[in-house]
Structure 1
Amino acid sequence: MTVSSLLVCDDSNMARKQLLRALPTDWPVSVEQASDGREAMEVLRRGPVDVMLLDLTMPEMDGYQVLTALRAEGLACKVIVVSGDVQEQARERVMALGALAFLQKPVEPALLKQTLGNLSLLASAGGSELAQARQLDASISFFDAFREVVNVAMGRAAALLARVLGVFVQLPVPNVNLFEVGELHMALADAQRGNGLTAVCQGFIGDGIAGEALLIFHDSEVDDMARLMHGFSADYAPMEMLLDLSAVLIGACLAGIAEQVDVHFSQSHPTVLGQHASIDELTRLNQPRWKRTLAVEISYSIEGHHIHFDLLLLFTEDSVELLTHKLDYLMN
């Protein structure tokens, strides 16, 4: 019996666990795991690996850099990218770098098995090493589970924006933290790159899970974004642009989260909050509502343009327990 060697590379414990669960149960495969691209390259340099399931958005060394390094060092490994970044340009770029397939997170077991079979990567059935590998998985924390949910939702929102604008959106590793209001102020201040901010705020609620979404632009970049969107209207006003952009990004990101945790969010109308306001003014105006907050920070950039903006999802403290119950099936 031939035993294949498999490397699962993803910075999320939950994503790696999901992939192990999705693998064909009768595939005789020896599994190693890496939490970022650097760890993956260390494993690949130590000895041959037949197949790698590779994430794209990771700290230290991302999936694009791993594919580039594989080619530069002449390391033989068949790569299937499994990513939450589902932009068409992302798919095209990894295939050009040598990936054999691109699968969307969270991957369906049947589709993964079909992909492995189509690429002739499945050895004869009958192995038990996969079950042993699964037993090595530690329990998943709430923050790791929710960060992966946000990662998938963030990628879907970026793909929608990329299609609408004809651009490539550069995605970060999302930050997920529980903040007291003072800590939230410091986190927001740390993100500030200029003196003035313009923000669009939109409330949301569903099954008792509630919060505020803020799309924050630095004033120096609002006009640049408006010009990028002028293809829709020659007289597209900056504030109109911000409201439309928030409807696309906030709506798509919340929809991605809702689908994964099985809720339906109702959203209020977006409003411009603190136009040209400093970070101090923004937090002062909203301190009574935010208090202790589960904060998600996503810093988007548009490739080829000097445009950066932050999407903040601020969930109420009461939402954390409800979200934890929703994520139990993913964490265990």
Structure 2
Amino acid sequence: MPPINLFRKRTASVDDAIPLLVCDDSSMARKQLIRSLPANWPLRISQAEDGRRGLELIRQGQGRIVLLDLTMPEMNGFDVLAQIRDEGLPAEVIVISGDVQQEAIRRAKELGARAFLRKPVDAAELAGALLALGMEPAAARPGAQEPQHLLPSVSFRDAFRELSNIAMGRAAELLGRVLKVFIRLPVPNVNLLEAAELQMTLADAQGNHRVSAICQGYIGGGIAGEALLIFHDSAIADVAGLLDSELDSSSHPELLLDLAAIITGACLSGLSEQLGIQLSLGHPLLLGQHCTIDELIRLNRPRWQQTLAVEISYALEDHDIHFDLMLLFTEDSVARLQQRVEMLHDLQDHRP
């Protein structure tokens, strides 16, 4: 489908403004995107928190340009792109996502996305993508400022969920290359949990399956915690098959430790980079093999009292394989994390 001819030379009048939709479930991501849009360009901005609402606004003419996330509840970005194509809706879509797998990029463009930008978005790259659509900036208006009422409020939980989303995507990109599969990504869960609540969360994720778990501590910048990676025992042999590895009693722990190094290392590296801190990883420990979640929690309850828990459930497309990564930050780390997130917002709010 050729580009929609919407962007001939325009003035900055309200009537001539181009409707632009920011469709992302994260209020932090929407705020970042709105702030990253070129100043004084003739845009009329709308927002949607999920794909279904985004489609409604596009059908109403409020999304001739769409900045679209891929990982969303209700309807993900791939489904939105497919629906735009199937209905022939007049929308130019720029995907801006934390899912940076090459297969995700290929699928998005195959479904009609005009460009694919990585989160957190670079303002110059976003301007370049808009220019590539044929849009031209309006003449600058001296003293003009961004409309503050457009900017959503951002809670710590939502901000940290978005940081985790970006880190999760980087880990998936690395894991997908190693296993040569497409990783289906969820919306991360972020909650402050007591040990009993953590047990229920893990039980919901893993059911009654027997599991094996790897734990790896991390510390740095006044922040400490443990990464807990949990595998269904039934999936380990399938993962070994993807790696063309023979699996026996001696190689089973080695395979788990190798996977933990890839997933945990990449995810924490992504968080460290965004927060501007350096997290040092300890040696991975095999917490339990072939045990139930109840047994795992009982053995480790003294380690996990109240904790800020980030839950990420990875699934391998076309395979009955999934596993859960839990990032468990100590209670004492929460104040420091809040401070780093607030500093991040302050820098964004005062960018030139």
- TM-score where L is the length of structure 2: 0.90
For 2:72 and 2:223, locate their aligned partners in 1 and report how far apart those are by CA, in whole Å: 28
Q: Displacement, 1:260?
A: 0.3
Counterpart in the other structure of 1:18:
32
Q: Displacement, 1:204?
A: 0.6
**Secondary structure of the equivalent of 1:210?**
strand
Q: Counterpart amino acid of 1:212?
A: E
| Contact 2:275 2:344 (8 Å CA) reproduced | no
| Contact 1:178 1:293 (8 Å CA) reproduced | yes
For 2:185 and 2:139, locate their aligned partners in 1 and report how far apart those are by CA, in whole Å: 38
Counterpart in the other structure of 2:236:
222
For 1:56 and 1:282, locate their aligned partners in 2 and report how far apart those are by CA, in whole Å: 34
* Equivalent residue in structure 2 for 1:322, among 322, 336, 339: 336
Counterpart in the other structure of 2:350:
none
Once the two structures are superposed, the pairs formed by residues 140-159 of structure 1 within 5 Å of their partners are 140-159=154-173
**Secondary structure of the equivalent of 1:99?**
coil
Q: Counterpart amino acid of 2:256?
A: L
**Secondary structure of the equivalent of 1:324?**
helix
Greater alpha carbon shift after TM alignment, 265-274 vs 75-84: 265-274
Question: Unaligned stretches of 5+ in structure 1?
Answer: none
Once the two structures are superposed, the pairs formed by residues 130-145 of structure 1 within 5 Å of their partners are 131=145, 133-145=147-159
Q: Displacement, 1:163?
A: 1.3
CA separation of 1:188 and 1:235: change in aligned 2, threshold 3 A = closer
Q: Displacement, 1:180?
A: 1.0
Once the two structures are superposed, the pairs formed by residues 247-262 of structure 1 within 5 Å of their partners are 247-262=261-276
Counterpart in the other structure of 1:279:
293
For 2:62 and 2:299, locate their aligned partners in 1 and report how far apart those are by CA, in whole Å: 57
For 1:164 and 1:121, locate their aligned partners in 2 and report how far apart those are by CA, in whole Å: 39
| Contact 1:48 1:76 (8 Å CA) reproduced | no
Q: Does 1:176 align with 2:176?
A: no
For 2:271 and 2:102, locate their aligned partners in 1 and report how far apart those are by CA, in whole Å: 21
| Contact 1:229 1:241 (8 Å CA) reproduced | no
Counterpart in the other structure of 1:74:
88
Q: Counterpart amino acid of 1:91?
A: I
Q: Does 1:55 align with 2:69?
A: yes
Once the two structures are superposed, the pairs formed by residues 23-62 of structure 1 within 5 Å of their partners are 23-47=37-61, 49-62=63-76
| Contact 2:119 2:166 (8 Å CA) reproduced | yes
Question: Unaligned stretches of 5+ in structure 2?
Answer: 1-10, 347-352
Q: Does 1:164 align with 2:184?
A: no
Q: Displacement, 1:234?
A: 4.7
| Contact 2:229 2:324 (8 Å CA) reproduced | yes
| Contact 2:228 2:326 (8 Å CA) reproduced | yes
**Secondary structure of the equivalent of 2:32?**
helix
Q: Does 1:206 align with 2:224?
A: no
For 1:268 and 1:72, locate their aligned partners in 2 and report how far apart those are by CA, in whole Å: 50
Q: Displacement, 1:132?
A: 5.2
**Secondary structure of the equivalent of 2:129?**
helix
* Equivalent residue in structure 2 for 1:290, among 304, 325, 329: 304
Q: Displacement, 1:123?
A: 4.2
For 2:219 and 2:62, locate their aligned partners in 1 and report how far apart those are by CA, in whole Å: 50
Q: Counterpart amino acid of 1:22?
A: S
* Equivalent residue in structure 2 for 1:9, among 8, 19, 23: 23
Deviations 1:53-77 (A, max 9, x none): 0000000000000001111111010
Greater alpha carbon shift after TM alignment, 45-54 vs 100-109: 45-54
Count of aligned residue pairs for this structure pair = 329
- TM-score where L is the length of structure 1: 0.95
* Equivalent residue in structure 2 for 1:120, among 126, 134, 137: 134
CA RMSD of aligned residues (A): 1.6
**Secondary structure of the equivalent of 2:230?**
strand
For 2:326 and 2:141, locate their aligned partners in 1 and report how far apart those are by CA, in whole Å: 45
Q: Displacement, 1:119?
A: 2.2
| Contact 1:169 1:301 (8 Å CA) reproduced | yes
Deviations 1:139-161 (A, max 9, x none): 21000000000000000000011
For 2:212 and 2:247, locate their aligned partners in 1 and report how far apart those are by CA, in whole Å: 20
For 1:170 and 1:3, locate their aligned partners in 2 and report how far apart those are by CA, in whole Å: 37
**Secondary structure of the equivalent of 1:107?**
coil
For 1:325 and 1:7, locate their aligned partners in 2 and report how far apart those are by CA, in whole Å: 31
For 1:61 and 1:109, locate their aligned partners in 2 and report how far apart those are by CA, in whole Å: 27
